[in-house]
């Protein structure tokens, strides 16, 4: 099997999330009256609550991708790529690919083989075994990875995979720690009604 869109997304995103210096910045606290924005996707039945103050790069990454192979549905970052920081630039990237790009793919778990191969080629190490995660009655497959950026700083990534109506939808969460990644995952939800099909 060959990964088609995900390498494009990863190659575009990793430089944006890997910026670091020596010290960790103190995150700015959002204003008490800050409005929470939720992005919804009716076709795949998910919604995501955007962290206040994050930067949306969805259109930029869509323009850089190959729409014939898939598309970026959401790409948000904790800070703009040009804004240097002292820690991992956390990100959430949601993409979809045509399952037909992977001959013989019958389950979301089978997608983890090419994903793991790609991540290890980028210097990441798998953390534990893949697992399943249920969010709003949807079962997703989860794979976790970590990459040391220096002696004190690690980049953590968790990718959740959903196979639905001939499409692979990957939900990738990147941050400086496992707890931060889990906090990002908690903002993902699914509608209870059946998603639209083509």
Summarised one tens digit per residue, pLDDT across range 164-180 is: 888 999 999 999 999 99
**163: nearest Cα among 79, 106, 117, 118:** 106
**74: nearest Cα among 179, 197, 155, 188:** 188
pLDDT of res. 62: 83
Average model confidence (pLDDT) across the chain: 82
Residue 138 pLDDT > 70:
yes
What are the extents of the domains in the chain? 6-20+40-190
Q: Whose structure tokens read 């968790």?
A: 158
Q: Model's pTM, two decimal places?
A: 0.82
Reported as a single tens digit per residue, the pLDDT across 49-83 is 999 999 999 998 888 766 567 899 999 999 887 77
CATH number, domain 6-20+40-190, options 3.90.79.10, 1.10.3720.10, 3.40.50.2000, 3.40.1000.10: 3.40.1000.10
pLDDT of res. 32: 46
């Amino acid at each position: 099997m060959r990964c088609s869109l995900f390498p494009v997304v990863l190659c575009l995103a990793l430089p944006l999330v890997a910026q670091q210096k020596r010290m960790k910045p103190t995150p700015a606290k959002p204003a008490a009256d800050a409005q929470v924005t939720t992005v919804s996707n009716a076709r795949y039945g998910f919604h995501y609550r955007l962290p206040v103050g994050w930067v949306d790069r969805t259109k930029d990454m869509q323009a850089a991708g190959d729409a014939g192979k898939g598309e970026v549905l959401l790409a948000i970052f904790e800070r703009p790529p040009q804004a240097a920081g002292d820690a991992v630039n956390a990100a959430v990237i949601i993409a979809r690919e045509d399952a037909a790009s992977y001959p013989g793919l019958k389950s979301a778990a089978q997608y983890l083989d090419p994903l793991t191969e790609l991540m290890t080629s980028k210097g990441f190490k798998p953390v534990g075994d893949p697992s399943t995660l249920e969010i709003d009655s949807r079962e997703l497959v989860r794979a976790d990875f970590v990459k040391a950026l220096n002696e004190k700083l690690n980049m953590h990534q968790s990718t959740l995979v959903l196979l639905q109506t001939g499409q692979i939808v990957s939900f990738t969460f990147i941050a400086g720690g496992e707890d931060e990644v889990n906090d990002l995952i908690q903002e993902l939800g699914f509608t209870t009604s059946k998603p639209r099909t083509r």
